[in-house]
Structure 1
Amino acid sequence: MTKPTIVFAGSVYPGQFGGLCDYLRSNGLADSYFLTTPGYRNKNLHHGPHILGFTPDGKIVGPQSYYYSAKVERSARISRGLLKALKTFETHKKIDVVVTHSLWGAPHFLYDEIDAAIVSYIEFPSYRAHGWDPSYPPDEAQRIGDRNMEMLHFHQALCSDLVICPSHHAKSMFPQALRSNIEVQLEGFDFASDPTPEPADAPRPFTIGFSARDLSSAKGFETYVRLVDQLVARGVEAEFIALGDAEATTYGFEAQWVARHYDGAVASFRDHLLRVYPHAAEKIRFPGKLPYDEFVREISGIDLFLYPLKYGVANWGLVEILGRGGCVIAPDRGYAAELIQDDVNGRLLPDDDAAWIAEILALMDDPARRYRYGTAARQLARQAYSLAAVAPRYMRLFRLAMDNRRARSAG
């Protein structure tokens, strides 16, 4: 079969699927292109002529005209611009597959308007399905507004030729009636280059780390701080480091709780926790949001990672940690158990502080076991999630979407 023409669409590049798009093209697997917003296109022209632009039908950053349907309105502006760009593309080249991000490359105006198979990547259907910490609940307006996000995703699951979710845990959040059109595949990672360790002037202390895009309740940051507080109180000698953005948008509602509880006097959820856990506040180092190369170098120097996830459906940072040979403790539930086999490439534990503290102390005294977990983590992650590993799987999914499209057209 000839190489298919695949157009990826998202407001941010490289963002979702940027690496995959480039990999498919450079390795001759597909004639792939990436449609993104003008600013991101202009920043990334050096990646090649396959980086193309689309202009949303109005502003997509900041509040929309009506709070309760803001995500649907923003998605409509994106989808309207995307439809126009795809129709222009089709005047000179037939498209086989369009791969969209459900919100930032929203496909809902494309159905029956273009001939290509449409694949929607949906991370999770709604905050209601995803989960949030009962200690920091959404207010009524957020609960009601969330229904529109759910509605948009259910419609995509029904109308797309294929839906891709990042984990089986994410797929389970959809109604049973919609799951037959959903496939699970986590994105691929570029593990081609490992950082060169920086020479240390002196032996460094044992390092216990946390890493996530956002220092949020959903990612388990509160549990990490609480565990560190207990370890410091016990006199445990270690360096503690938390990688992530303390003020990033999160998958929860803790930021609104902090703003209301402190009447604006405390800047972030992190700063609230440091007030609650003073022992941890004295010891945790916060490098902040780092450039990718610095982030990789930082995680490569951490001896033990705590990943006490509360809610989530996928975490690219966790795959980076495993793929770089990190030793990880994670909860025995949710999507973490899809990535970690207990006592093979990490530890899976129940939500019990005493169990986590005991395992942390045991692993601190057992470098051979940490090495065994880290070696297996590196090998398994690269076998399963390197770009070379996932690219053939994605190509099978894209061909499945093309078959689904043909069958639907014939019917």
Structure 2
Amino acid sequence: MRILFVHQNFPGQFLHLAPALAARGHEVMALTDEGNQRPSPIRTVRYKSPPEENPVRGLARTYAGYAERGWLAARGCRALRDRHGYTPDLIFGHSGWGETLFLREIWPEAKLLVYAELLYRTRGHDVGFDPEVTPDSDESRVTTLARSAHLIQGLVQADAGIAPTRYQADSFPPELRQKLTVIHDGIDTGKVRPDPNARLELPDGRVLTAQDEVLSYVSRSLEPYRGFHRFMRALPEVMRARPNAQVVLIGGDGASYGTVPRDAESWKAKLLAELDGQLDLSRIHFLGRVPYPQYLSLLQIARVHCYLTYPFVLSWSLTEAMAAGCHIVASDTEPVRELIRDGENGRLVPFFDQGALEQALIRALAGDPEDARLRAAARQTIVDGYDLQSHSLPRLIDWVESFGA
């Protein structure tokens, strides 16, 4: 088949799939934003970036921005068609940024597949889950509905789609859910694995190893959607109980999913001010965003890894932490329960139970008698059901190729 991948940050979720399809003899190309400089062995063409400033205000703002990106992507595809005679048999794009919205009009005969990551919902998900940050109000629900329009349109137009977890697929209503197949992107468990000899060098030159009492926390951004505020508020008690513990956090200071606080420049600044005088800052290490090998080393040396999240998109960091054989203490929220069973392959605590979180972290740092079993079971969960080479990639290839029959 002639296959066109569409992703504003290609390769994104198609990192392994696109080259694998090319290796099987398909003619594979990718369309991406002109500002994307990520390398890929796949031939890549670019469309014009949308303007940084969206002139539309109010409820239509989100749709207008994504529709503009969709039109620019469609114009790029039109140029491929009219100037170069290119016509794909199959288009596979991420629906999250509107890039697939108008591609049916350029190539009406091509099969259209979408990566449907999540549909925003007004109840039972993030809206109203954390009253401190996400109030349950008419305004927030209406705004959420408005932000969902392009995601619904994207899946309505598609022949089919995939979602990485059941929780994320089930965020779509039944009439759209039937179009979705659940296949995780896959974890390279040969690369992401336990390493008792791993070392992590801190900015001050100190080196941490698995012999140290390391508590790890990872998020793209340090924000409430990933429980950053709950984690920080647990640290005074945890650090008092474990005077040798070293806390290492990876993540940027901005906001990837929610918003920055109104009364501080970042959630990190807000929580440090709130906890002023309660923390031994010499034992807390904010690394920011780091290269992948450094991130992996942190998972491999951690005595305990803490993962907290609203009912929302599941983080890759959880699946990779499990593959690395981490002792996981995680929030008892729906997306997490899909992977972790309390007492079997990790420990679950209620998201808002501060005392339960503190005690779970303290117990793990002190040396949980079940530590070795929990670590092994966490890794086995990923090896059995989420491994890239033996599970996810073969299923993804079969699914894509089924549309060429």
Name the structure 2 match of 1:315.
Answer: 315
Name the structure 1 match of 2:126.
Answer: 131
Contact conserved, 1:213 with 1:317, CA < 8 A, in 2?
Answer: no
Supply the RMSD in Å over aligned alpha carbons.
2.9
Aligned-pair distance for 1:20? 2.6
* Correspondence 1:373 to 2:374: yes
Using a 3 Å threshold, how does the CA distance of structure 1 residues 358 and 103 change in structure 2: closer, same or farther? closer
* Correspondence 1:86 to 2:77: yes
Aligned-pair distance for 1:217? 0.7
Give the counterpart of 1:269 among 267, 274, 279.
267
Aligned-pair distance for 1:106? 2.3
Name the structure 1 match of 2:92.
Answer: 99
Using a 3 Å threshold, how does the CA distance of structure 1 residues 76 and 346 change in structure 2: closer, same or farther? same
Q: How does 1:242-391 map to 2 (within 5 A)?
A: 242-247=249-254, 249-253=255-259, 255=260, 258-259=261-262, 262=263, 266-278=264-276, 279-280=278-279, 282=281, 283-351=283-351, 352-366=353-367, 369-388=370-389, 389-391=391-393
Aligned-pair distance for 1:9? 0.7
Give the counterpart of 2:3 among 6, 11, 17.
6
Paired with 1:281 and 1:94, the residues of 2 have a C-alpha distance of 61
Using a 3 Å threshold, how does the CA distance of structure 1 residues 205 and 151 change in structure 2: closer, same or farther? same
Paired with 1:281 and 1:269, the residues of 2 have a C-alpha distance of 18
Residue aligned with 2:231, SS = helix
Contact conserved, 2:6 with 2:100, CA < 8 A, in 1?
Answer: no
Name the structure 1 match of 2:16.
Answer: 19
Contact conserved, 1:208 with 1:241, CA < 8 A, in 2?
Answer: yes
Using a 3 Å threshold, how does the CA distance of structure 1 residues 169 and 227 change in structure 2: closer, same or farther? same
Name the structure 2 match of 1:408.
Answer: none
User: What residue identity is the alignment partner of 1:328?
Assistant: I
Using a 3 Å threshold, how does the CA distance of structure 1 residues 127 and 286 change in structure 2: closer, same or farther? farther
Using a 3 Å threshold, how does the CA distance of structure 1 residues 144 and 349 change in structure 2: closer, same or farther? closer
User: What residue identity is the alignment partner of 2:230?
Assistant: T
| 1:230-280, Cα deviation, whole Å (9 max, x unpaired) | 212445531112211121x33223x1xx22xx3xxx321111112222324
Contact conserved, 2:364 with 2:371, CA < 8 A, in 1?
Answer: yes
Name the structure 1 match of 2:203.
Answer: none
| 1:9-50, Cα deviation, whole Å (9 max, x unpaired) | 11112323233323433x427443221122325x52xx3352
Name the structure 1 match of 2:31.
Answer: 35
Residue aligned with 1:340, SS = coil
Paired with 1:362 and 1:313, the residues of 2 have a C-alpha distance of 28
* Correspondence 1:161 to 2:159: yes
Name the structure 1 match of 2:397.
Answer: 395
Residue aligned with 1:128, SS = coil
Aligned-pair distance for 1:226? 1.6
Aligned-pair distance for 1:393? 1.4
| 1:55-89, Cα deviation, whole Å (9 max, x unpaired) | 35x42x34344353232222222222322333454
Q: TM-score, normalised by structure 2?
A: 0.84
Number of residues of Structure 1 aligned to a counterpart in Structure 2: 385
Q: TM-score, normalised by structure 1?
A: 0.83
Name the structure 2 match of 1:231.
Answer: 238
Paired with 1:202 and 1:82, the residues of 2 have a C-alpha distance of 46
Using a 3 Å threshold, how does the CA distance of structure 1 residues 32 and 188 change in structure 2: closer, same or farther? farther
Using a 3 Å threshold, how does the CA distance of structure 1 residues 251 and 281 change in structure 2: closer, same or farther? farther
* Correspondence 1:120 to 2:127: no
Paired with 2:290 and 2:133, the residues of 1 have a C-alpha distance of 27
Name the structure 2 match of 1:212.
Answer: 219
Structure 1 alignment gaps of length 5 or more: 404-411
Aligned-pair distance for 1:157? 2.6
* Correspondence 1:198 to 2:199: yes
Give the counterpart of 2:44 among 51, 56, 59.
51
Q: What percentage of aligned pairs have identical amino acids?
A: 21
Contact conserved, 1:10 with 1:105, CA < 8 A, in 2?
Answer: no
Using a 3 Å threshold, how does the CA distance of structure 1 residues 374 and 382 change in structure 2: closer, same or farther? same
Name the structure 2 match of 1:152.
Answer: 150
Aligned-pair distance for 1:206? 0.6
Contact conserved, 1:219 with 1:312, CA < 8 A, in 2?
Answer: no
* Correspondence 1:74 to 2:43: no
Residue aligned with 1:252, SS = coil
Using a 3 Å threshold, how does the CA distance of structure 1 residues 370 and 301 change in structure 2: closer, same or farther? same
